[in-house]
Structure 1
Amino acid sequence: MKMLQKLLPALVVLAPALALAADITHHSSGAFEGQNLPFTEAVEAHGLVFLSGQIGVKPGTLELVEGGIEAQARQTMDNISATLEAADLTFADIIKCTVMLADMADWPAFNAVYVDYFEAPYPARSAFGSNGLALGGALEVECIAAH
């Protein structure tokens, strides 16, 4: 009993942290297997799914699709779709997107593709110009979804 009394304060402090750790799930579409990249495609914690940024690479490669901003935007969104599917989600479950564009002049072209993947009401979104995106990509998009 005395041992339990001594351990109880520590358990009270540690219990929330242990519960948080037990509530984390990693999701992968398998598109980057064998690429030895230092990230997980999506991490789920307490009903929120945080998707790593995606760029317009062909699945299973680190090669950008050809065709400029529209092609890269479409491939980026398709890559996001594969990650969502791995987590049993759809674009309707996305609550926030962050868009990084190598050239802000591509904003209208990106929007033309983006609206093909969502229906109103759209998720919250922010965007900014960025220099030096991965692999020289025209854009990167990261999202947060909710189960």
Structure 2
Amino acid sequence: MKNKYSILIICVIFGLISCHKTQKQEIYFHKSHEESRKNAPFSDVTQVGNLYFLTGQIGKNHQTGKMSVGIEAETTQALKNIEDVLKQHQLTLKDVVKCTVILADIGDFSKMNDVYTTFFVDNLPARTTFAANLVAGAKIEIEVIAAKK
């Protein structure tokens, strides 16, 4: 049985390598549309074909430079930041296929989820949630992957 799985894994890997070789995708690194983030040492979005990998967003308002207060407000602002980035690439939250949510305190899960579900109504992208230390004292960071149709 173990050998069957090994062979299957090798076939999948070979198939992915073959697909990658025959369908080479251009990679684009998109800088931020926000003036305050123009010199950031990372891209707001990395695009590979029709997939858009967004940098994680925290609950900081990029126009004012102020951090929202509380998990609900930070979640709202992080998702608004994501909407703004998506809009720059003619995408919306309906194009999101995967979310990663990082909480400073996993105890905030329910409060975060209450806000999150008001943004993702028509589509429910795959999601991973875990807890870790975050930059700037943030309570939440959210990153997404979107697919342009």
C-alpha distance in structure 2 between counterparts of 1:136 and 1:35, whole Å:
22
Q: 1:28 to 1:61 in 2, by over 3 A?
A: farther
1:76 and 2:53 aligned: no
RMSD: 2.0
Unaligned runs of 5+ in 1: 1-15
Which residue among 57, 61, 69 is the counterpart of 2:60? 57
Does the CA contact (< 8 Å) of 1:95 and 1:144 recur in 2?
Answer: yes
Does the CA contact (< 8 Å) of 2:32 and 2:43 recur in 1?
Answer: no
What is the one-letter code of the residue matched to 2:79? M
Matched pairs, number: 127
Q: CA deviation at 1:24?
A: 2.4
Does the CA contact (< 8 Å) of 1:28 and 1:86 recur in 2?
Answer: no
What is the one-letter code of the residue matched to 1:45? V
CA radius of gyration, larger in: 1
| TM-score when normalising by structure 1 | 0.78
Provide the identity percentage: 39
Partner in structure 2 of residue 139 of structure 1: 140
Which residue among 113, 134, 137 is the counterpart of 1:111? 113
Q: Deviations over 1:62-89 (max 9, x none)?
A: 4312x21111110000000000001110
1:100 and 2:102 aligned: yes
Q: CA deviation at 1:113?
A: 0.8
What is the one-letter code of the residue matched to 2:77? Q
Q: Deviations over 1:37-67 (max 9, x none)?
A: 11111111111000010001111454312x2
Partner in structure 2 of residue 46 of structure 1: 49
| TM-score when normalising by structure 2 | 0.77
Return structure 1 stretches of 4+ with deviation > 6 angstroms: none
Does the CA contact (< 8 Å) of 2:36 and 2:62 recur in 1?
Answer: no
Q: 1:128 to 1:32 in 2, by over 3 A?
A: farther
C-alpha distance in structure 1 between counterparts of 2:136 and 2:38, whole Å:
14
Q: CA deviation at 1:31?
A: 2.2
